[in-house]
Amino acid sequence: MLRFARRVVEHQAARQLALMDRWIADEERREAERQRRLAARRNAPEWAVEHGLNGRTAVYVHVGGCTGAGGRAKGVGREQAVRALTEAGVPACPLCRPDTALGILE
């Protein structure tokens, strides 16, 4: 009877260790993804202008690293972002609000 109890405990311990190993792997994967996102955000330009499908029409001005900026966003300098918002009338992204960050209120 004692040998059977030992096998049960041994089996349960092995299952718990496997479960903990999965948890550790999941946490390490999440942390690696978070570090990758932080690195990408650090490398992002300070401001970006997102263009429409035709590639010419500006759709939004974004703060660099905005998650709402699509693949058609191009990094620009502060002066270009201010000019796009004020003179060209390009709307500010409703998520990152570059007009507020630049000190321009509509």
Kindly report, residue by residue over 13-40, the tens digit of the pLDDT: 999 999 999 999 999 999 999 999 888 7
- Please check whether residue 95 is in contact with residue 75, taking contact to mean a CB–CB distance below 8 angstroms: no
pTM: 0.59
- Please check whether residue 24 is in contact with residue 30, taking contact to mean a CB–CB distance below 8 angstroms: no
Number of domains in the chain: 2
Domain that holds residue 39: 1-43
* Same-domain check for residues 54 and 35: no
* Same-domain check for residues 24 and 52: no
d(CA 101, CA 106): 12
What's residue 70's pLDDT? 79
DSSP secondary structure letter of residue 87: T
Question: Predicted confidence band at 66 (pLDDT cuts at 50, 70, 90)?
Answer: confident
- For 89-103, what is the HEC assignment? CCCECCCCCHHHHHC
∠ at Cα 11 (10, 12), nearest 5°? Answer: 95
Question: Predicted confidence band at 6 (pLDDT cuts at 50, 70, 90)?
Answer: very high
Kindly report, residue by residue over 85-95, the tens digit of the pLDDT: 998 899 999 99
